[in-house]
Structure 1
């Protein structure tokens, strides 16, 4: 595949990095301008208020080549995983929204979230969670999941991703092939799932199949070992999972992100250079390195070296870059020009109306439950 990109730029499109502070570091802007990054991921540390978020996204969006608009991503799920502060819309937990079983409302809620993100220039939301809440001892998923019922997770996840994407924000389903039934936090250790393929097909995989079929733009891997699929190999680094299962069997055609390669599930076992090249070989299209800019530089250098050494790896990088560029060009960041334009959008009438509707739906559900109990 020929994209007409210098090798350093080609490999740079496979990296999305994070940084400290609300001002974009000069090295981040330089890396975007030179094509050594394909975008940035934002956290609470970067977005103290709406005006600062707008300024940051304006600078990041302007830094790159117009033909390579960046991914500007954030985890704005709702509940305890919400990065943007008030007056940005904070949805309740996905579990509580899933309990309502109101798909049109869920779609409207996602559209309201996306409208606010789009206004400040964020074009990628790392949501919805498509994991099934099947293990009460899970320390990382829990109420981030829509339900313990795979079919309800599938229906809810599709409604949420459609709402985001209808409003011009790329959705990202996570964490493939399913992080719901683990007892360890992959930020701290490498979890494993012992279930056989039959159980995976019944519980873990249906939401991802449904989301893929509904046109999900991007997906994120889980840093977990699924023994039935690839014994001993984290899913992020597994070609059997990222390519064999997700691409060849499920038929996903969107962009596959790795979860953060700095998480201990990966970083405690693999140096960043090895993790980066193995993840790309496995089938990941974009690598998240969420804080350490030096690590992101080392990952970039490792990708370039491997692409110089191995023509097949270079072809894999070209495939990944083409997939990411197509998504970014389809949905570039377009922040509003002036902070005053945010007032009617961020925390505005549409967002407030969605929250009020959710509150009424929960009140009705509670009244129904109380009536059934008497």
Structure 2
């Protein structure tokens, strides 16, 4: 009898322990909530996503613009762009630049005006060398890109890019809209010409990618241009809309190749041109074309970086479209930053039009968040900050430039 009672007690204990295990596995009340494993324990909070969540719609839309302004000194127009429109950055032209000291002071003052904003500004310039140079005259002039192509020395082209980057960095810029990756295949091209490294794919790729790398290695953001290719145009897009009637097969064998190579080398920013390519989109120029920006550049070529437009106030756009609608269409087609270089009222008009499109539901705030994420990620990657620069090393830079010119001319 004692053995039987002992066996029964043993079975009861075994059953009780089994039930307890079941309670643990099923999350029974015997297990306190804080003792359960949490899926959130290993989740890393993305500070950029967190920052975007705290931004107003107006702040987000502001990041989608880089704007131009008048004058060579800090003024109310610039302050308004920063404080009221929350713009993501500025571009300077020759009209804004007198000498190296005043330019340094101007950029420092712009940074100070943005000091209450924890998002630093893009401070950009078109500095290609040759005839497209906005820097003060005290900087020794660099030769045009075609001379690099004729020399065809990768080390020289890389050093050329480094000097470009160091020159703009010395004044406080952080973005250079260069190099040109267009292939100058049309001798009658009125706008590219000797700005291109050459008229063949190999020459443009060999030298253009090296210049891009040289700029990037000075911690200046290079923006290659003008996607999908401006080299075969017969009209200057500053004046009106060029049309390139090449087949897709022809474009894939020529114009697109330098940009594909740049994407393979992790280019951070690509500028899109105002050109109509009927083979890809019969209705809209590149800057307004979803087929070209989203379908080709992003989906087909796999580019995930920042897409910036060429100046949306150029004749190719404003002679044929409403600036506000064209800028919105650029954003909706896969673009990230609209470049608005002229007109004091134009940035506000564009921002208000984008905001209205969000309010009416034709553009989602989620899409804007994705663009802002790319922009803030790029600013973080290059550790941009509105840091004051006390002086520049002009003499040293000119010595380097002279030495490089001598190597190019050998």
Residue from 59, 66, 81 that aligns with 1:31 = 81
Contact 2:171-2:389 within 8 A present in 1 as well: no
1:135-166, CA deviations, whole angstroms, 9 ceiling, x for partnerless residues?
00000000000010112211211101111110
4+ residue segments displaced more than 3 Å: 333-337
Distance in structure 2 (CA, Å) of the matches to 1:335 and 1:91: 27
1:355 to 2:402 alignment: yes
- Output one character per residue of 1:87-137: Cα deviation in whole Å (capped at 9) or x when no partner: 224310001111111111111121122112112210000000010000000
Structure 2 stretches of 5 or more lacking a match?
1-48
Separation in 2 of the partners of 1:108 and 1:336?
A: 26
1:164 match:
215
**Cα contact 1:177–1:222 (8 A) shared by 2:** yes
Q: 1:137 aligns to what SS in structure 2?
A: coil
Question: In 1, distance between residues paired with 2:74 and 2:112?
Answer: 12
1:48 and 2:101 are equivalent in the alignment: no
Q: How does 1:125-164 map to 2 (within 5 A)?
A: 125-164=176-215
TM-score normalised by structure 2 residue count: 0.84
Counterpart of 2:364?
313
Residue 333 of structure 1 and its aligned partner are, at CA, apart by 5.0
In structure 2, what is the Cα distance between the partners aligned to 1:12 and 1:68?
11
Corresponding residue to 2:243 among 177, 192, 209: 192
> TM-score, length-normalised on structure 1?
0.92
**Residue aligning to 1:17:** 67
Larger Rg: 2
Question: Which string of whole-angstrom CA distances, capped at 9 and with x for unpartnered residues, describes residues 202-248 of structure 1?
Answer: 11000000111112111111100011111131100001101111111
SS in 2 for 1:40: strand
Q: How far apart are the structure 1 equivalents of 2:110 and 2:388?
A: 13
- Larger RCO, structures 1/2 (Cα 8 Å, 6+ apart): 1
SS across alignment from 1:41: strand
- Paired residues of 1:15 and 1:36 also in contact (CA < 8 A): no
Alignment equivalent of 1:122, drawn from 173, 184, 192 = 173
Query: SS of the counterpart of 1:131?
Result: coil
Q: Distance in 2 between matches of 1:251 and 1:90?
A: 37
Structure 2 distance, partners of 1:279, 1:135, is 27
Q: How many residues align?
A: 358
- Residue of 298, 304, 323 corresponding to 1:253: 304
Q: Assess, with a 3 A threshold, how the Cα gap between structure 1 residues 30 and 329 changes in structure 2: closer, same or farther.
A: farther
Q: Once superposed, what is the RMSD of the aligned Cα atoms?
A: 1.6
Equivalent residue runs for 1:321-336 within 5 Å = 321-331=372-382, 332-333=384-385
